[in-house]
Structure 1
């Protein structure tokens, strides 16, 4: 799978990003990279579906924990996600992955094993449904019209069917998200 490499700005906007996400250097996230969707994304970072953000601080990722993650993900078969419908959160246009329960199972297993890894720091209660952010730069006054146009522009590329074979562990270094480890499914 293609790595996240040098993301200039994470989905959550950085430590003091415009959308207020409190990313801290050393934060990690587990994501599903969806390179087939990169041409559709207008959000300034590679297409992905978040499995768990934040995970554990990078300082806790040692050989033992890395082995635990490898074993956990190896216990799940690779799978296919289909992106055929749009959804919206306030300020966000996203593609809805189907079946989403395949992602939710991974999130649930991770949070049961590491209960201190609270999805989205608890900002959204139990978390958000899995999604692939397409755009997140519009405010309340402009988002409806802008996202209606964007949906219309990219709808012809759907459905997008993507095979997911790995989970990426990415790390926030204070200015960008970088890939650290790729774990194989199955």
Structure 2
């Protein structure tokens, strides 16, 4: 759980990457200006430090992980954040743990929330006015069931530019 709300957004820099799982079923509920997703690891390595070797490591890691199904049926809150909790959350945690073992220098959320980062979550809204949003606005669309079949490496060109896909890594359980 965050210890303090983040009001100025994340300190994204050009070339920052993240590994995320897109959850299209929740796109209509998200009020952040981004696609619905669960972050597996943010930030990962700067794009300038990723190469064919990094790609091969990620492909092997994700290919070994099986696809899974999760349900989002519970709206939760942190100060300034409304999010959905995935059930089960352990497959997301396992992916993050594997990535942290592979690349220990990639500290979740730059260490703002400790070395372990945050529990798996799908942010619906954040920032000013979020605490006043009624949970019922989201709950009436729940539960959402999602088939988790891949992890995406995404990159930003800096603050205000959004994020774009770089590569999609399938989960296969090989």
Is 1:168 equivalent to 2:152 in the alignment?
Answer: yes
Is 1:133 equivalent to 2:117 in the alignment?
Answer: no
RMSD: 1.4
Structure 2's unaligned 5+ residue stretches are: 1-5
Q: Alignment partner of 2:12: what SS?
A: coil
| TM-score, normalised with respect to structure 2 | 0.90
Give 1:33's match in structure 2, choosing from 22, 30, 35.
22
Quote the offset at 1:176 in angstroms: 2.1
Q: Can you list the C-alpha shifts for 1:98-128, whole angstroms capped at 9, x where unaligned?
A: 1111000000010011000000000001200
Q: Alignment partner of 2:153: what SS?
A: strand
Is 1:180 equivalent to 2:170 in the alignment?
Answer: no
Quote the offset at 1:135 in angstroms: 0.5
Task: Return the alpha-carbon distance in structure 2 between the equivalents of residues 19 and 89 of structure 1.
Answer: 16
Q: How does 1:99-178 map to 2 (within 5 A)?
A: 99-125=88-114, 126-138=116-128, 142-144=129-131, 146-147=132-133, 149=134, 151-174=135-158, 175-178=161-164
Q: Can you list the C-alpha shifts for 1:38-88, whole angstroms capped at 9, x where unaligned?
A: 011111111000000000110121111101100100001111111000111
Q: Alignment partner of 1:157: what SS?
A: coil
Aligned residues of 2:75 and 2:138 also touching (Cα < 8 A) = no
Structure 1's unaligned 5+ residue stretches are: 1-16
Task: Return the alpha-carbon distance in structure 2 between the equivalents of residues 20 and 42 of structure 1.
Answer: 14
Q: How does 1:70-81 map to 2 (within 5 A)?
A: 70-81=59-70
Task: Return the alpha-carbon distance in structure 2 between the equivalents of residues 133 and 183 of structure 1.
Answer: 22
